[in-house]
Structure 1
Amino acid sequence: MNEKQLVSQALSKTLDGVLEVEQIAAIIEKPKSSDLGDLAFPAFQLAKVLRKSPQAIATEIAEKIDSTGFEKVLAVGPYVNFFLDKNSTATQVIHDVIAKGKHYGDEQTGAGRNVPVDMSAPNIAKPFSIGHLRSTVIGDSIAKIYEKLGYNPVKINHLGDWGKQFGLLITAYKKYGDEATITANPIDELLKLYVQINAEAKENPAVDEEGREWFLKMEQGDEEALRIWKWFSDVSLIEFNRIYDKLDVTFDYFTGESFYSDKMDAIVEDLENKNLLHESKGALIVDLEKYNLNPALIKKTDGATLYITRDLATAVYRKKTFDFVKSLYVVGGEQTNHFKQLKAVLKEAGYDWSDDMVHIPFGMVTQGGKKFSTRKGHVVKLEMALDEAVDRAEKQIEEKNPNLANKVEVAKQVGVGAVKFYDLKTDRKNGYDFDLDEMVSFEGETGPYVQYAHARIQSILRKAEQKVNLEEVPVVVSDSEAWEIVKFLKEFPNTVKRAADNYEPSLIAKYAISLAQAFNKYYAHVRILEKNDELASRLALISATAVVLKESLRLLGVAAPENM
C-alpha cells in the first residue's frame, strides 16, 4: 500500500462514507514545504455537506483519525496534514528497491501491446549531424520507458531515402561526380554535391526540373536511377551504423520511405474509391477545410508522390503489421502541420485508429543561436562531436583518477553519456544551443555529475566491511538528508509513469539530477561508514539510491560506470 492509499483509507474510515476512497485520493496534495508534512487533505469540499467551516472540519478529522502508520496528523488551517512514519516508510521503500533492483518501478500496464516508435530518420547521402541527435535519443528513451511499463516498443528508423532531393543528387552526380572520389569519402563528397546542386537549382529552374525528372524515373523503376540511388543508400548506412554503435542505439527495423514506394498506389486508390481525391490545377488533393487545415497534396501534376503520400502508406502498413495500441512519431516541431494533415486524411478515410497516432515534437539544436542547414552546408557532424566529448572526458579522468583501470571505456561512457543526457534533460519542446564544455562538465546538472554520484556510492559500498542482507535491514531515518533521499526513491515509479504519459524523458533526467544532489548532500553531512548500530541502515539507503540512479540513467540510454 502506498502512502496516498494509506492516507485515503484512514480518512475514509473517519469520514464514515461521506467521500469514497477514490474521491479522497484524487484531492490529496503534497504540501509546499516538508515542514508541513508529507501529504495534505483539503477540507473545503466537505464544508457544504457537513455545514461547517473547512478549518473546523480539519480540526475534527485530526482529532478523530487513527494515526497508525503516521508520525503525526495535524490540522493546519483548512488542511489535515499527514507526517509519515519515517522509519517504516523508509524500510518499506528501500527493501522494495533492493528486492526488485532494476525492475523497481516496472508495471504491466502495456500488457505486451505494440508501440511503434518512428525515430532518428536521417537522410541518406547526408551527414549524420547534431540535428539528428534529438529524434534518436528521445525516441530511444521513450521506447525504454514504455518497455518498463509493459509495452512492446518497435523502434523504426524511417530513413529519408526517397523524394526529389535524390533526383537532384543524381543530377549533381551525373554533372560533377566521380565514383572513386565518392567511394573514398562518401558522405563528405555527397554533401558537397548536394550543396552545389541546391545552390544551382535556386538560380536555374532547368536544374530543378532535371532533379524532378530523375526522381520521377526512380518512381517509375528506371534501372540507372535506382542503381545510383541504391549506391548512395548503401554507403550512407555504413556511416550511420558506425554512429549508432557509438550511441549504443539499436533499431528493430530500418524501413525508410523507399520501403513504402510500392504501397502508395493502394492508398491513393483507397482515397479515390472513397471520393476523397479532388483535382486542383492538375494535382490530386484531399480537402481538409473542416479540420481548419490546408488541402493535403497527394500527387503532383507530374504524378510524383509526396511525403504525405508515403506517410499514409506507412501508417496503414504499421497498423496492419503491428496492430498498435499507439504509434509514436518522434519528429521535429516544424512538422506539426504535416502530422495534423496526415491524421485528418486517415480520419476522412475512415481509419479511426489514426487517433492512436501521436506526433512527439521537439525543439531544435542550434549552434551559436544559428540553425543547422545541410542545404547551406552549415552542419556539425554528430560523430565528430561524440569523439570530442569522449576526448574531453578522458582528459578529466586523467586529471582526477589517472590510475583508473578501464579509463578508455569509462571515457566513452562518460563522453557519449554527457551528450545524450544534456539533450534529454532539456524539456522536449524546447531547443538548446550545442555546447560541449557545458555537456562534459563533472559539475552542475550534467550526465557526468549523475554518473559520478553512482560511482561514488559503489566506491563506498566496496569499502564497507559489513556484509549483511540489505533487504532485511530495518532502516532508521536519523536526519533530514536521509528522509529527502527516501522521498525521492518513493517517487521514482510515479516519475516513470509521468514521463510515459507526457512522452518526456527530461522528467527522468531531472529526477536523476535531483536524486544525485540529494545523495551528495547526504554524503557531505553524514559519516556513512562510521561503525555504529545504523551502519547497515545507511548502506541499505545508499544501495537503493545507486539502483535507482543506474536505472534512471538506463532509461535515458546512458551508462552508469562503477568507477570514475
Structure 2
Amino acid sequence: MKVKKIFANQIAAETAGLLTEDKVLERIEFPKYPEQGDLAFPCFELAKIFKKNPAFIAKDLAAKITDPYFSEVVSEGPYVNCFLNKKRVSKEILLEIQTKQEAYGSQDIGKGEKVTIDFSSPNIAKPFSMGHLRSTVIGNAYANILEKCGYQPVRINHLGDWGTQFGKLISAYHRWGNEKEVRQDPIKELLKLYVRFHEEAEKDSKLEEEARLWFLKLEQGNERALELWQWFREVSLEEFKGIYKLLNVSFDSYNGEAFYNDKMEETIDLLKEKGLLSTSKEAEVVTLEEHDLPPCLIRKSDGATLYATRDLTAAIYRQKTYQFAKSVYVVGHEQSLHFKQVFLVLEKLGFEWANNLQHLPFGFILQNGKKMSTRKGKVVLLENVLKEAIKMAEKSIEEKNPTLQNKAQVAQDVGIGAIIFQDLKTDPQHSVEFSLEDMLRFEGATGPYVQYTHARACSILQKSNGSAEEPTDGLSDVYSWSVVKKLMDFPTKVKESYEQAKPSEIAVYLLSLCREFNKYYANCKILQEDDQQASRLALVECTAIVIKEGLRLLGIKAPHEM
C-alpha cells in the first residue's frame, strides 16, 4: 500500500535509522474509530530507545510529517495519527485494482522458490470423514496463499497407505471379509471390518498379535498381503479423488508412506553412520534428552519401522527432489511432539534445511464436544455432508431465484463454499464443533454471505452495461471511504495470512469487506447519473475483484449470480 509506505518512510527517517521502514510498517495500525484517523503509529518502542515520554515523541513526529497524500497528521497521546487525502487515495487505489485485477495483493516474498506442503493425507481403506476436512482445506488455502506471495507450492498428499492398521484390516478381511460385498461398496465394508476388528480385539488380545504378524508379512513382501493392500489402496484413492474434485483441491504428488519403503534403510544407515542410533528396550531410537524430549523411535524390536522413520526419509527425499526453500506439514496439533522429534533428528543429522521445516497444527473437528473416531465407527462422511450442503443450497436457490441459470453449478459452489468457509474462518489452532446447521446457514458470518455480496456487486455492474470505467474522481463520503480502506488493506492481509500461516485472516477480512460494501450499497445511489457515477461503479468493480480473489485463495468459487 503506497500511502502506508510513505507514512512509514517519513517516520523511519525521523528515527535516525534506529527503526527501518519495514519495522515501522509492521507497527502501523488502523485506528479503531474513523475520527481518530486512517493510519496510526504507536511510539512506545521509540520511547524506550530515546528515554522520552511516548506522547512527546508522537507530538514531535506529527509536526514533521507532511505529504500531498495526507490531509492532516496529528498526535493523540502516544500515537501519531494520519488522516489521508480521501479523494486522491481512493482514486489511486481503485485505478491500481482495475489495472492489476486478480494480481492485486500479490507479493514477491518467495521469489519463485519451492515450498513443499504436506496436507490432507487420509488413511487408505478408511472413509474420507469430516475429520479430514481441516487438513485438506487449510492446506489447500495455505498453498494458494504461498503462491500469491511468490512461492511455488508443491502440493503433496502423503497418503496413510502403510502401517499396523493394514495388518488389522488384512486380519479382519481373512476372518470376516466377503469379496463380493467389498467390491460392491469398498469403503463402507472395509470400515465395518476395521470397526469389528477393534470390537473383537477388546475381547481377544491375540488378535492384536495376529495383526502385527500380518503387517510384518506385508513389509517383507508377502504376495497375498501385498495383493490385498494394493486393492484396498486403489479403491480408496478412487473414492478420495471424487471428493477432491468436489472440493476443487489438486495435488502434485500422491506419494504416501508406502513410497518410502525401499528408501528407509538408507536413512537408518545414515543415522548409524552419524552415531545417532542407540538401543532402548530392544528398539532402535535417537535420544533427544538434551531437548527434554522422549527418544524418537526409528525401528521396533521386531524390525518394523515407524512414522518417524518414514517422515525422516520423506523429508530427505523431498529436499533432494524439490530443493525446497521450506517444507510445511498441515497436520493436527496432536502430532506436535512427533514433528518436534523428526525436525530435531534431521538437525542432528547435520541438514541445515531442517530449520526450514514447519508444522502447521490445527484443532479437531468435534461432535458434541468429542473427537470423531473411525475406530469406534463414530464418523460423519465428508461426501455425505457435501452432498447434503449442495441439496440445501439448491432448495434455497429454488425459493429465492427459481429462474437462475446454471442452478446446479451455483448450488455446488454455494454448498461446498459454505462448508469450506465455516472451517477457514476459524483460527486453525482452535477446534471446530461440527454442526451441519451452522455450516449451511446462508446469512451472517458465512461463505454464502460473502458469495452473495460478490453476486450483488456483479448484478450492479450488469445493470450498468457489465463493467466499470476508470474513476473520474476520488470518493470521500463516509460509506465509500470505509470500503476503500478495506480494499487498501487486502495486500496487508495476504501478507499476514502467509506470515502467520492462517487462512482465517483472509476469511475474516472478507467478512469485514462485505459488511462495509453492503452498508455502501444500502446508503449510496450507485447508479445515479452524475459526475461521480463512474467512480462509484469503479468501487463496486474493485470490491467484486477483491472478494473473488479472496475466495479463490480460500479454495471457494464466486458465482456471478445467486
Identity %: 51
Aligned: 1:386 with 2:386: yes
In the TM superposition, what whole-angstrom CA distance separates every residue of 1:453-506 from its partner, at most 9, and x where no partner exists? 000000010001596632xx2343242111111111111011011111111000
Structure 2 CA distance for aligned equivalents of residues 305 and 371 of structure 1: 27
Partner of 1:459: 459
The code of the aligned residue for 2:68 comes to: T
Q: Quick one: structure 1 residues 20 and 416, their matched pair in 2 at CA, closer, same or farther if it must change by over 3 Å?
A: closer
Separation in 2 of the partners of 1:368 and 1:55?
Answer: 51
After superposition, the C-alpha distances for 1:401-443 in whole angstroms (9 at most, x for unaligned) are 0110111110000001111111111110111111222222221
The residue aligned with 1:497 is 495
Partner of 1:523: 521
Match of 1:267 in 2: 267
Q: Which of 534, 537, 540 does residue 536 from structure 1 map onto?
A: 534
Unaligned runs of 5+ in 1: none
SS of match in other structure, 2:377: coil
Against the structure 1 CA distance between its residues 200 and 52, is the aligned structure 2 distance closer, same or farther, given a 3 Å change threshold? closer
For 1:306-325, list aligned pairs within 5 A: 306-325=306-325
> Could you tell me how far 1:370 is from its partner in structure 2?
2.3
**Residue correspondence of structure 1 range 384-423 to structure 2 within 5 A:** 384-423=384-423
What is the match of residue 328 of structure 2? 328
Distance in 2 (alpha carbons) for counterparts of 1:304 and 1:16: 61
Change (3 A) 1:66 1:281: closer
1:187-244 CA distance string (max 9 Å, x none): 0000010011122223322111111111101111111110111011111111111111
In the alignment, the residues of structure 1 paired with residue 230 and residue 180 of structure 2 have an alpha-carbon distance, to the nearest angstrom, of 16
Q: How far apart are residue 81 of structure 1 and its match?
A: 2.1
**Inter-partner Cα distance in structure 2 for 1:49 and 1:360:** 35
Which amino acid is the alignment partner of residue 259 of structure 1? F
2:547 match: 549
Question: Cα gap change, 1:8/1:231 in structure 2, threshold over 3 Å: closer, same or farther?
Answer: closer
Q: SS of the residue aligned with 1:153?
A: strand
CA distance in 1, matches of 2:422, 2:288: 39
- Match for 1:282: what amino acid? E
Q: CA RMSD for the aligned pairs?
A: 2.1
Per mean C-alpha deviation after superposition, the further-off stretch among 106-115 and 2-11 is 2-11
Instruction: Say whether 1:115 aligns with 2:115.
Output: yes
Cα deviation for residue 291 of structure 1 reads 1.2
Distance, in Å, in 2 between the alignment partners of 1:120 and 1:8 is 40
Aligned amino acid, residue 178 of structure 1: N
CA distance in 1, matches of 2:78, 2:164: 66
Question: Which residue of structure 2 aligns with residue 486 of structure 1?
Answer: 484
Query: 1:201: which partner in 2?
Result: 201
Distance in 2 (CA, whole Å) between partners of 1:468 and 1:446 is 28
Measured against aligned partners, the alpha-carbon deviations of 1:128-158 in whole angstroms (never above 9, x if no partner) come to: 0000001111110010000111111011111
Contact in 2 for aligned 1:67/1:73 (Cα 8 Å): no
Pair 418,215 (structure 1): closer, same or farther in 2 beyond 3 Å: same
CA deviation digits over 1:143-193, x for unaligned, max 9?
000011111101111110101110111011111111111000100000010
Q: How has the CA–CA distance of structure 1 residues 219 and 49 changed in structure 2, closer, same or farther, with 3 Å as cutoff?
A: closer
Letter in 2 for 1:481: Y
Moved more, 461-470 or 493-502: 461-470
CA distance in structure 2 between the partners assigned to 1:297 and 1:44 by the alignment: 48
Say if 1:360 and 1:503, in contact at 8 Å, map to a contact too. Answer: yes
CA distance in 2, matches of 1:375, 1:51: 62
- Which position in structure 2 is the counterpart of 1:87? 87
| Mapped partners of 2:551, 2:544: distance in 1 | 11
Partner amino acid, structure 2, of 1:525: N
Question: 1:113, CA displacement in angstroms?
Answer: 1.0
Residue 366 in structure 1 maps to residue 366 in structure 2: yes
Check 1:457–1:297 CA distance in 2 against 1; reply closer, same or farther (3 A cut): same
Structure 1 residues 108-507: aligned runs within 5 Å: 108-465=108-465, 469-470=469-470, 473-507=471-505
Instruction: State the TM-score, normalizing by the size of structure 2.
Output: 0.95
Q: 1:101 corresponds to which residue?
A: 101
Bigger Cα displacement from structure 2, 176-185 vs 203-212: 203-212
Distance 1:348 1:45 in 2: 38
Distance 1:455 1:232 in 2: 43
Could you tell me how far 1:329 is from its partner in structure 2?
0.5
SS of residue in 2 equivalent to 1:358? strand
Pair 295,49 (structure 1): closer, same or farther in 2 beyond 3 Å = closer
Are 2:468 and 2:537, in contact at CA under 8 Å, matched by a contact in 1? no
Q: Give the Cα separation in 2 of the matches to 1:452 and 1:331.
A: 32
CA distance in 2, matches of 1:138, 1:497: 16
Does the CA contact (< 8 Å) of 2:38 and 2:83 recur in 1?
yes
**Cα distance change of structure 1 residues 300 and 61 upon mapping to structure 2, 3 Å threshold:** closer
Maintained 8 Å contact 2:161/2:257: yes
| Distance (Å, rounded) in 1 between the aligned partners of 2:508 and 2:15 | 41
- 8 A contact 2:467–2:541 mirrored in 1: no
Residues 310, 9 of structure 1: CA spacing in aligned structure 2 closer, same or farther, 3 A cutoff?
A: closer
Deviations 1:231-274 (A, max 9, x none): 11111111111111111111111111000011111111111111
Q: CA deviation at 1:275?
A: 1.4
The alpha carbon displacement at 1:65 in A equals 4.2
Cα–Cα, structure 1 residues 284 and 520, in superposed 2: closer, same or farther, change >3 Å? same
> How far off its partner does 1:288 sit?
0.9
Q: 1:5 to 1:415 in 2, by over 3 A?
A: same
The question of whether the paired residues in 2 share the 8 Å contact of 1:496 and 1:508 is answered with yes
- What is the CA distance between 1:61 and its match in structure 2? 4.8
| Residue of structure 2 in register with 1:514 after alignment | 512
CA contact (8 A) 1:475 1:540 kept: no
For 2:141 and 2:43, how far apart are their aligned partners in 1? 40
Work out the CA distance in 1 between the residues paired with 2:221 and 2:17: 72
- State the SS of the aligned residue for 1:445: coil
The 8 Å contact of residues 466 and 536 in structure 1, kept in 2 or not, is answered as no
Q: Aligned letter for 1:290? A: E
Cα distance in 2 for partners of 1:407, 1:53 equals 62
Contact 1:127 1:188 in 2 (8 A): yes
Aligned mates of 1:128, 1:412 — CA distance in 2: 19
